[in-house]
Amino acid sequence: MAKGNCEFKGTGGRYFIAVFLHGIILSAITLGIYTPWAWVRILRLKASHTLINGKEVSFVGTGGQLFVLSLLNGVLTVITLGIYTPWAICTICTWKAQNTLIKGRPNRFNGTGIELFFLYIIHLFILPILSCGIYYFYGLYKLFVWIQEHTQIGGEKTSFSGDFRPFFGFILLNTLSVCLLYIPLSWPVARLFKWQVEGLMVGDDEEVEHFPSNKTNYIVAVILVLVGLMIGVLAVGLQIYPYYKSTQEVKSLQLPKKQPPTPKPVLPAKTQPDTKTKAGAKPKVQDKAKPAKEKAGPTQEEIDQEYKLKLKTLNNLIELDPENENALYNRAWLHDLEGDLLGAERDYSLVIKINKKNSDAYYNRALVYIKMHNPEQAFSDFSEAINLKPDSVDAYCNRGNLYFQQGKLDLALQDYDKALKINPNDIDLYNNRSIIYNAAGEPGKARLDLQKASELGQTTDKDQPVLKQERTTASELPPVKVAWGMGLNEVKIPESPVSGNIHGADFLVESAKIENSILTIRQGDGFFPDQAIMIFMFLQADEKLEGKTYNVASKDELEIPHVHLQWKEEGNDVPKTKIFMRDYTMKLEIGIAENNSIPVKIYLSLPVYEYTKTYLAGTVQAVLK
């Protein structure tokens, strides 16, 4: 930096009390009110250490003046949403110049707000954004240079030669002082003052050689913008790449995820506000007045009203008792069912806050995090679910799937090994582990697992296994076409595999299971089914599943199972769900369990919904969970 004809004699040690004690400590204690007085003290100290072309300098401004000026400019800046900032800076610079005297003659600031506005927009807003913030330091340098060049010292001609490198040194030292709780801040402040003063050339005499006006170094500006853009692109790439990699690794073979545990039913609110509801109780449907005329089926408005009624009941329970664990759990499950992932995550978190040992809440929240594309949180929750419930086969399976997606095959195999020790007859685990062995370059072990899965009832293809979460063992009879109808008279359930029509599309069962008294018949082997029917039977603890039969007429309303209809629409990977609690027809016969499976015969017709008739009939062998 070319040196001018001015001198600064201050050092960091001399400014320690003024900067740290007054500028930091006292300003913080007074919530910033003392700051104007602290700055006046610092400016007076700076003036006492400065010689302008051999002339002494004094500062006569007061803290009260600066306080009023700062307050007024601050209000105007807030009101204008920051637009007034350049004019506020010029106002402060004008006050500072008028109160800085060189042998009794005040300085003069001739910069304008509109001139500074364009510099401010370009160098402190647009270019910093384009460079991901890197250019901001050079923009600050341009601001300081502009202020110096527009300040006429002692009424004489003034020029400035300060370059960027010393100023950047001040920025680095200032950053270091922030890391050290501002204790060494006085040293970078003294360095800044020295840069400002010794870069000045002041005087009207002919022998005084003034510096040329400072110009923007476009090479530096372009380099900073390009570097910032590269850093920004790299940062975005690092965020996207892990997700992209995980999807590519399992593009052809995607491991299935286990379904979440079913909700724990709670009773409607009792008259006593402090009554706790019990998990496992069968929910009751409120009595409703019978319509004067029969309806073909509930309208969309009525179906939505049912959902709102459920949600209202749970909200009432939670309002009466904000720590009702079961009600919060059920509301979280309902939010998840309706696609409100944020609501589900929030309520599961509240359940965990109330009961940190609720393994099902951790497990279900993990599945919500997977849907939210947050594998790190999902991994953490699966691990906690395993800690609380070491025999949780599904948690091991899903955590193993996460390891597989991340390419950590050894850890994935460890989780599947642990799961198989708990349940050595789980077909899914053998089938999935065979894929991991194949990916790990151990085809021999993969074939052994496929053979074991086949022995347990899993149909396999030697060239490329097809992953199924559950698989039926229905007899190989051709499907029989059934028709939609809302009556039970003379209903005969065919012995052929379950088939029918779901929401306008042909349906042929691919898997079936009964878990926690919920019968799920689905088509599609992904995490979400392509089509599915879920029947909530609400069995009591002492009720037996085997031999259970249901004959539901379309007019029945009380004490009947709830039916959940799921289907995917074109272009949407997440299925829609509709709930039917009445106005449907069903004949359901459950046989005798054998080898972890149970025969089921079903005829089901749901009311007309959006001009489609959903129905299915046939026989299926359901896996018991």
Report pLDDT digits (tens) over 163-177.
888 888 888 888 888
Q: What is the pLDDT of residue 482?
A: 55
| pLDDT tens-digit map of 86-131 | 999 999 999 999 999 998 899 999 999 999 999 889 888 888 888 8
pLDDT at residue 562 greater than cutoff 80: yes
- The answer to whether the CB of 556 falls within 8 A of the CB of 519 is no
Q: What is the pTM of this model?
A: 0.40
**pLDDT per position as a tens digit, 16-60:** 999 999 999 999 999 999 999 999 999 999 999 999 988 999 999
**Are residues 130 and 142 in contact, defined by beta-carbon separation less than 8 angstroms?**
no
Higher pLDDT, 87 or 405: 87
Q: Is residue 446 in some structural domain? A: no
Cα-trace Rg, the chain: 38
Whether 264 and 218 share a structural domain: no
Q: Would you state the pLDDT for residue 214?
A: 78
Measured distance CA(313)–CA(302) in Å, rounded? 16
Residues of the chain with pLDDT > 90: what percent? 30
Residue with tokens 């007061």: 62
Given 423, 446, 476, the domain boundary residue is 423
Question: Based on the domain organization, do 75 and 221 belong to the same domain?
Answer: yes
Specify the pLDDT at position 490.
66
| Whether residue 174 sits in one domain with residue 76 | yes
Question: Alpha-carbon distance 361 to 10, whole Å?
Answer: 64
Pull the structure tokens for residue 30.
């007074």
How far CA 135 is from CA of 139, 160, 377, in Å, comes to: 6, 22, 35
Q: Is there a single domain that holds both residue 414 and residue 514?
A: no
Helix (H, G, I), strand (E, B) or coil at 617: strand
617 close to 498: Cβ distance less than 8 angstroms: yes
For 5-26, write each residue's pLDDT tens digit. Answer: 899 999 999 999 999 999 999 9
Q: Which of 401, 423, 445 is the last residue of a domain?
A: 423
Question: What domain count does the chain have?
Answer: 3
The verdict on 189 and 299 lying in the same domain is: no
The answer on pLDDT for 220 being more than 80 is no
> How far apart are the C-alpha atoms of 623 and 617, rounded to whole Å?
18
Please answer whether residues 533 and 548 qualify as being in contact, where contact means their C-beta atoms are separated by less than 8 angstroms: no
For residue 471, what are the contacts with CB-CB under 8 A and spacing of at least 6? 427, 457, 458, 459, 510, 511, 623
Q: Is residue 145 part of a domain?
A: yes
**CA gap 388, 366 in Å, rounded:** 14
Between 590 and 559, residue with greater pLDDT = 590
The HSE-up count of residue 68 (CA atoms within 13 Å, CB side) is 5
Dihedral sign computed on CA atoms, order 287, 289, 291, 292: positive
Distance CA 428, CA 497 (A): 22
pLDDT tens profile 64-81: 999 999 999 999 999 999
129 and 277 both lie in a single domain: no
Return the CATH number at 261.
Answer: 1.25.40.10
Residue-level pLDDT at 244: 54
Q: Which pLDDT value is given to residue 489? A: 66
In the chain, what are the helix, strand and coil shares in percent, each to the nearest 5?
45, 15, 40
Residue 492 covered by a domain: no
153: pLDDT strictly greater than 70: yes
Place of tokens 């951790």: 362
Distance CA 511, CA 529 (A): 10
Residues 6+ apart with CB under 8 A from 220: 138, 164
- Domain assignment present for residue 479? The answer is no
What per-residue confidence (pLDDT) applies to 301?
Answer: 67
Q: Which stretch of DSSP H or E encloses residue 601?
A: strand 597-605
Residue with tokens 């779901």: 502
For residue 590, what are the domain limits?
Answer: 499-624
Backbone angles phi, psi at 279, to 5 degrees: -70, 145
Kind of pairing between the strands at 615-624 and 511-515: parallel
Q: Which comes out higher in pLDDT, residue 183 or 261?
A: 183
pLDDT at 557: 67
Residue 43 belongs to a domain: yes
**So what's the pLDDT on residue 271?**
26
Shared-domain flag, residues 159 and 25: yes
- For residues 370 and 324, membership in a common domain is answered with yes
Q: What is the DSSP letter of 20?
A: I
Residues whose CB falls within 8 Å of the CB of residue 125, separated by 6 or more in sequence, listed in order: none
CB distance 53 to 203 below 8 Å: yes
Q: Is the pLDDT of residue 254 over 60?
A: no
Question: Per-residue pLDDT averaged across 359-379, rounded?
Answer: 89
Same domain, 262 and 218: no
For residue 25, give the DSSP letter: I
Q: Domain check: are 220 and 316 in the same one?
A: no
Average pLDDT over every residue of 607-623: 79
Report which listed range, 278-292, 393-407, 443-457, is most confident. 393-407
Strand, coil or helix: 131: coil
d(CA 620, CA 511): 9
Angle of helix 393-405 relative to helix 375-388, nearest 10 degrees?
Answer: 150
Residue at 89 is within a domain: yes
Residues 151 and 70 in one domain: yes
Task: Tell me phi and psi for residue 604, to 5 degrees.
Answer: -140, 130
Pairing of strands 562-567, 576-580: antiparallel
Is residue 278 predicted with pLDDT exceeding 50?
Answer: no
Question: How far lies 425's CA from each of 93, 393, 430, 513, 593, in Å?
Answer: 81, 11, 9, 15, 16
Task: Decide which of 372, 395, 423 is a domain's last residue.
Answer: 423
Claim to verify: residue 152 and residue 61 sit in the same structural domain: yes
3-state DSSP of 166-228: HHHHHHHHHHHHHHCCCCCCHHHHHHHHHHHHHCEEECCCCCCCCCCCCCCCHHHHHHHHHHH
Beta bridge partners of 311: none
Q: Residues near 200 by Cβ (< 8 Å), separated by ≥ 6?
A: 4, 5, 6, 52, 148, 153, 158, 159, 160
- What mean pLDDT comes out for the span 435-446? 79
In this model, does residue 474 exceed pLDDT 70? no
What digits encode the pLDDT tens for the residues 334-364? 888 778 889 899 999 999 999 999 989 999 9
Average pLDDT of the chain?
79
pLDDT given at position 265: 33
Assess if residue 493 is contained within a domain: no
Written as one string, the DSSP assignment of 535-547 is: EE----TT--STT
| Residue 460, in any domain of the structure | no
